[in-house]
Structure 1
Amino acid sequence: MNLTENDLVFVTGATGLVGSHVVEECRKRNIPVRALARSSSSADFLKEWNVDIVTGDLTHAESLQKGVEGATVVVHCAAKVGDWGPVEDYRSVNVDGLETLLQAAEQNGTLKKFVHISSLGVYQARDHHGTDESEPPNKEGIDGYTLTKVESELKVLDHVKEKQLPAVVVRPGFVYGPRDRTVLPRIFEKLKSKQFAFLGSGEKLMNNVYVGNLIQVIFKAIENDDVIGERFNVTDGRLVSKKEFIDRIAELGSYPEPKKHVPLGVAKVLATVLEKVYRALGKTEAPILSSARIKFLGLNLDYSIEKAKKELDYDPQIDFQEGMQRTMNWFKEQGLT
Structure 2
Amino acid sequence: MTAPRPSIFLTGGSGFLGRRLIVDLIAAGYGVRALARSERAAATVRALGAEPVPGDLGDLPSMRDGMAGCAAAIHSAAKVEQWGRWEDFLRDTVQGTEQVIAAARAAGLPRLLHISTEAVLADGHPIVDADETRPLPPQPNGFYPRSKGLAEQRVLAANGSDLETLVVRPRFIWGKGDTTLAPKLAQAARAGWVWFGGGRHRISTCHVRNVSHGVLLALERGRAGEIYFLTDGAPVAFRDFIGRLIRSQGVEPGERTAPLWIADALAALGEAAWTLLPLRGEPPLTRSALNLFFREVTVRDDKARREIGYRPVVSVEEGLRELAPPAS
Settle same-fold status: TM greater than 0.5: yes
Whether the aligned pair in 1 keeps the contact of 2:121 and 2:127 (CA below 8 Å) is no
Whether the aligned pair in 2 keeps the contact of 1:207 and 1:301 (CA below 8 Å) is yes
Q: Does residue 290 of structure 1 match 2:286? A: yes
CA separation in 2, counterparts of 1:197 and 1:296?
A: 15
CA separation in 1, counterparts of 2:196 and 2:162?
A: 45
Q: 1:137 to 1:186 in 2, by over 3 A?
A: same
Deviation at 1:197, TM superposition (A): 1.5
Whether the aligned pair in 1 keeps the contact of 2:183 and 2:249 (CA below 8 Å) is no
1:46 match:
45
The 3-state SS of whatever aligns with 2:182 is: helix
Deviation at 1:188, TM superposition (A): 1.9
- Among candidates 255, 259, 274, match of residue 259 of structure 1: 255
Which letter maps to 1:287? Answer: P
CA separation in 2, counterparts of 1:165 and 1:254?
A: 47
1:25 match:
24
1:210 match:
207
Superposition pairs for residues 1-337 of structure 1, below 5 Å? 5-39=4-38, 41-109=40-108, 111-125=109-123, 126-161=125-160, 164-191=162-189, 193=190, 195-224=192-221, 227-328=223-324
The 3-state SS of whatever aligns with 2:195 is: strand
Deviation at 1:252, TM superposition (A): 3.5
Whether the aligned pair in 2 keeps the contact of 1:170 and 1:233 (CA below 8 Å) is yes
Which letter maps to 1:112? Answer: P
Which letter maps to 1:317? Answer: V
Deviation at 1:164, TM superposition (A): 4.4
Deviation at 1:194, TM superposition (A): 5.6
Whether the aligned pair in 2 keeps the contact of 1:139 and 1:147 (CA below 8 Å) is no
Which sections of structure 1, spanning at least 5 residues, go unmatched? 333-337
Residue range with higher mean Cα deviation, 252-261 or 216-225:
252-261
Which sections of structure 2, spanning at least 5 residues, go unmatched? none
The 3-state SS of whatever aligns with 2:202 is: coil
CA separation in 2, counterparts of 1:318 and 1:6?
A: 26
Which letter maps to 1:63? Answer: S
**TM-score between the two structures when normalised by the length of structure 1:** 0.90
Deviation at 1:200, TM superposition (A): 1.1
Q: 1:159 to 1:48 in 2, by over 3 A?
A: same
Task: Give me the CA root mean square deviation.
Answer: 2.1
Residue range with higher mean Cα deviation, 265-274 or 246-255:
246-255
Which letter maps to 2:4? Answer: E
Whether the aligned pair in 1 keeps the contact of 2:121 and 2:135 (CA below 8 Å) is yes
Q: 1:156 to 1:218 in 2, by over 3 A?
A: same
Paired residues, what number? 324
CA separation in 2, counterparts of 1:328 and 1:164?
A: 47
Q: What's the CA shift string for 1:19-67, capped at 9, x where partnerless?
A: 1111111121221111112206444342223321012211222321232
Deviation at 1:274, TM superposition (A): 2.1
Deviation at 1:139, TM superposition (A): 4.2
Identity across matched positions, percent: 27
